[in-house]
Amino acid sequence: MSHTPVAIIGAGPAGLTLSHLLHRHGVESVILESRSRADVEETVRAGVLEQGTMRLMRETGVGERMDREADIDDAIEISIDGRRTRIGLTELTGHHMAVYPQHEYLKDFIAKRLEDGGAIHFETTVDDVTGYDGDEVTVTYTDASGAQQTLTCDYVVAGDGSKSPYRTPVLELDGAVRDRHEYPYAWFGILVNAPQTQKELIYGTHDNGFALISTRTPTVQRYYLQCNPEDTVEQWSDERIWSELHTRVDSEDLQVSEGEIFDKAVLRFRSAVTDPMQRGRLFLAGDAAHTVPPTGAKGLNLAVADVAVLAPGLVRAVKKGNRDLLDEYSALAVPRIWKAQHFSYWMSSMLHSVPGDPHFQTRRRIAELESVLSTEAGRTYLAQQYVGLDLPRFEI
């Protein structure tokens, strides 16, 4: 039996960032992760860092590789039937954004936590979490060798993703809600060995549907195509993918660069917000509490924003016995989550064609997009939301 001030379930963006921030303030934690380190470090996810996330990485000593290797952009482009409009993020907001895949972010935080002597137990299965309504939490888990372990802690944080079972006890509270929205489309994502189509991301809309031109490295590109949520990888031959990408994005001065496709996957579109995100000594962070669709790539950034509130709350509680900030965690985190939810929904709805939509809706949708793109106020609003709001800062 061992004890830690904070047990964290899940070595994703929420759990690792939280553990790192706690450590910087002298509060130790133990991370329990069901997957292997290799699996965590290789799973392909989205890859845009908001300005606040970049700043947090730099200010807390984890930003060096990101600054060296990320694709840092001053703009994104939005294309309507191949006509592109540049949204000058830096010019409009003073901030840039970084394309830095989530698994690279995780690698940096895992390395830093281990370097700082942090405990991350990979390949462990949490069997039970009890006592969160009382004075001490008990977590029982099966470690990588198959042995049963018991860990007691003052607080437990579930950062174990959208399927987290720890939402259930939170949702049993009076007045607790989980708001959800399903979308009539999904993304077909590919990784391809090809040179960059262009430096900046292109979000394109076309009668055939949405397409996104993103990047990973100078020689690996990440492209997405709107597809049906029921589509399977088998339905998307390489030929069909290239034909759709060219149709949806190409113009006289730009052609999507082609190469060998080495990864294909369908990404689901879902929105969900759980409120509150806590019960007693149990806290939810990141996708365990909320899910956003991938348009705008807010998922990782929202997890970081959650723990920017949760970390100082836990530090005050553990070190000073003061729960004031911790008790306010949901109230402080949820408004930002809804703003990100709205932005992701709004970008998605402007850029995707809904199968079977009346012509009226299509024309209105394009007019909305054109209104945003053709006014400085519209472009500024989009740019501000895209680079992200500042992260909350609390005195410890």
What stretch of H or E contains 306?
A: helix 299-320
Interface with ligand PHB, residue 352, by CB under 6 A: no
Q: Which of 48, 256, 340, 391 binds ligand PHB (CB under 6 A)?
A: 48
272, exposed or middle or buried, with CB in 10 Å at 0-12, 13-18, 19+? Answer: middle
Q: Which is nearer to ligand PHB, 157 or 212 (CB)?
A: 212
Closest to 384 measured CA to CA, from 99, 96, 93, 94: 93
- Beta-sheet strands, E only, within 114-269: 119-121, 125-130, 137-142, 148-158, 177-182, 186-193, 202-205, 211-217, 220-227, 260-267
* CA gap 152, 141 in Å, rounded: 11
DSSP annotation of 358: -
HSE of 23, CA atoms in CB hemisphere, 13 A: 23
Interface with ligand PHB, residue 222, by CB under 6 A: yes
Number of residues that bind ligand PHB (CB under 6 A): 12
Q: Which of 7, 14, 16, 46 binds ligand PHB (CB under 6 A)?
A: 46
Residue 63 · residue 98 · CB < 8 Å: no
Tell the smallest beta-carbon distance from residue 317 to ligand PHB (Å): 35
* CA gap 368, 345 in Å, rounded: 14
Interface with ligand PHB, residue 225, by CB under 6 A: no
Site for ligand PHB, residues 103 to 162, rule: CB under 6 A: none
* CA gap 277, 14 in Å, rounded: 13
Interface with ligand PHB, residue 297, by CB under 6 A: yes
Q: Which of 5, 13, 47, 293 binds ligand PHB (CB under 6 A)?
A: 47
Question: Of 14-22, 166-174, 240-248, 288-296, which part binds ligand PHB (CB under 6 A)?
Answer: 288-296
Interface with ligand PHB, residue 353, by CB under 6 A: no
Q: Which of 15, 118, 204, 296 binds ligand PHB (CB under 6 A)?
A: 296
Q: Which of 294, 312, 313, 388 binds ligand PHB (CB under 6 A)?
A: 294
Interface with ligand PHB, residue 286, by CB under 6 A: no
Residue 120 · residue 10 · CB < 8 Å: no
**Which residue has the closest beta carbon to ligand PHB?**
214
Interface ranges with ligand PHB (CB under 6 A): 46-48, 99, 201, 212, 214, 222, 294-297
